[in-house]
Structure 1
Amino acid sequence: MSRNLHSGHARGSGDDDLPPPPPPTPSDLLAMLVEGQRVLGDAMRTLAQHQAQGRNQRQGPEPNQFSDFKEFQDTKPPIFKEAEESLQAEEWLNTLEHKFRLLRVMEQMKAEYASHQLQGLAGIWWCHYRSTLPENVQITWNQFQETFKSHYIPPGLMAIKHNEFMKLVQGTKTLTEYLYAFNHLARYAPEFIDSEAKRIPSFKRGLSPKLMKSMGNNKSVTFNEFISDALTQENNNNVYAASKNCKRVFEVGVS
């Protein structure tokens, strides 16, 4: 037994006496560096993918997904009680449509959300209309809009506003005042403003004779370019008229 222990000890002593492994060569060091960079690159790509997935999840629901009523109310949607003018009713619908698009509200919830914004006489009207339908019927957004418009934006009134647009002229208005009136009534005649090619001649048609003389052959491609050129021309006309008045006053004073 003692011989075995002795021989084992001898073998162990022999292992301890083995020479250390040789140091890595420059080629070995370069290979280790390249491998380390590869592992680090893989880790960075994995981290970036996880971060991108997290951002996509935080961006909210996909289009046409559910947004609750509190989220809708947080956007401060306008209340509608009555309209002194039909454009106010149209603007209310347009505002709600923008908010629905922002929140990605589900189609079947739009009419429910909109009806909560009706108060006063409008709220009473909606309750009366709702009572004529089956209790559990689902009212679509298109149905809500059509019903709302037929009550607050009747076709006869639309025809009157359309006619006002067709007769609109600048007259004694400044160009800015005329532009405001044009934009105000143009929504009642969308077929005349649904492209740049239509909008410019529709606006040009009502210009004052003085502006038409200089802007009649204007070659602007966009409506904004035309308005910019017209404003510049109006200012030039005003400066010229003012200088003539000053000259006339001066001549009268000298004589």
Structure 2
Amino acid sequence: MEILAEGQHTMVEALRTIANYDGRGARQGPEPNQYSDFKDFLDTKPPIFKETEEPLQADEWLNTLEQKFRLLCLTKVLKTEYASHQLHGPAGIWWSHYQSTMAANAQITWDQFKYAFRGNYVLPGLMAIKHTKFMKLIQENKSLNEYLQAFNNLARYATEFVDTDAKKITSFKWGLSPKLMKAMGNCKCATFNEFVSDALSQENNNAIYACFKESQESL
């Protein structure tokens, strides 16, 4: 029985060794208790952050980095070290100023970094401005596609008005030009994508009719 147990133990250890190597004989991931180095981080192709007029783009940058960090073995301080190397231009200057307010050789954790970064780039006042712009958004002289792009961009700041297809359709319909509103006012589309698709078709039909009418008037 001892021989059988020893053989099973040897087989388990062999399988563990194989699992730690890929098909080319290279070890997968860092050794136990070994942290990922900066090259490992760069291999995940982390995005660079310079500046932005959109508060949520700054938040998206943080979220993307956190997704990259899940692939690595890093301390909270190393996360800050690696992330700060992706701050260029105005963002890099901000980071230098922030560090100057800390004690010499202070170790800044990832949570501290995120709090300071959001405090500078994701200001509640800016979020409120974007929310107001969404509430006032109308198509006016924009093409439907231009209006759609503006709507999708600003809707991120007013999620309570777009968290269902029905709410999203209502909000989008409210800002349509009078001509499209007349045509799409009673549309019973179940999804927002269907509504937009029908509105684009209607806009195209309006354009065709306008060209036809103009050609008739010039005769």
- The two structures have a TM-score, normalised by structure 1, of 0.63
Residue 241 (structure 1) aligned with residue 210 (structure 2): yes
Residue 132 of structure 2: aligned partner:
163
Residue correspondences, number: 191
Query: Are residue 70 (structure 1) and residue 36 (structure 2) matched?
Result: no
Which of 129, 133, 139 aligns to 2:109? It is 139
Q: Could you list the per-position Cα deviations for residues 73-114 of structure 1 after superposition, in whole angstroms to 9, with x for gaps in the alignment? A: 23443333333x2x1x53244245335425624573443322
In the TM superposition, residue 120 of structure 1 has moved relative to its aligned partner by 3.5
Partner of 1:104 in structure 2?
Answer: 71
* Distance in 2, Cα, partners of 1:116 & 1:249: 64
Q: TM-score, normalised by structure 2?
A: 0.72
Q: Structure 2: 5+ residue runs without aligned partners? A: 1-14
Q: Which runs of 4+ in 1 moved over 6 A?
A: none
Q: Is the 8 A contact 1:162 1:185 kept in 2?
A: yes
**In the alignment, is the contact (CA less than 8 A) between 1:75 and 1:99 conserved in 2?**
no
- Residue 175 of structure 1 and its aligned partner are, at CA, apart by 0.1
The residue aligned with 1:14 is: none
Preserved CA contact (<8 Å) 1:220 1:226: yes
Q: Measure, in 2, the Cα distance between the counterparts of 1:208 and 1:66.
A: 57
Task: Choose the corresponding residue for 2:93, options 105, 110, 124.
Answer: 124
**Counterpart for residue 5 of structure 2:** none
2:201 corresponds to which residue?
A: 232
Shift in alpha-carbon separation, 1:137–1:178, aligned structure 2, 3 A: same
After superposition, the Cα gap between the structure-2 partners of 1:71 and 1:230, relative to the gap in structure 1 and judged at 3 Å, is farther
**Shift in Å, 1:248:** 1.9
The share of aligned pairs that are identical, in percent, is: 54
SS in 1 for 2:183: helix
Change beyond 3 A, Cα 1:127–1:191: same
Moved more, 233-242 or 192-201: 192-201
- Please list every run of 5 or more consecutive structure 1 residues that lacks an aligned counterpart in the other structure: 1-49, 251-255
Higher relative contact order at CA 8 Å, sep ≥6: structure 1 or structure 2? 2
Q: Does 1:153 align with 2:119?
A: no
Question: For residues 181 and 216 of structure 1, what CA distance do their matches in structure 2 show?
Answer: 20
Q: In structure 1, how many angstroms separate the alpha carbons of the residues matched to 2:167 and 2:201?
A: 22
**Could you tell me which residue of structure 2 aligns to residue 209 of structure 1?**
178
Look at both structures and tell me which one has the larger radius of gyration over its CA atoms.
1
Query: In structure 2, do the counterparts of structure 1 residues 121 and 249 end up closer, same or farther at CA, with 3 Å as the change threshold?
Result: closer
User: Secondary structure, in 3 states, of the residue corresponding to 2:207?
Assistant: helix
Greater shift after overlay, 98-107 or 197-206?
98-107
Hey, what's the Cα distance between the residues in 2 that align with 1:194 and 1:146?
27
Distance 1:106 1:207 in 2: 50
Q: What displacement does 1:136 show? A: 4.7
Q: Deviations over 1:195-239 (max 9, x none)?
A: 323222111110111111121222222222221111111111111
- Label 1:203 to 1:236 Cα distance change in 2 as closer, same or farther (>3 A): same
Contact 1:78 1:92 in 2 (8 A): no
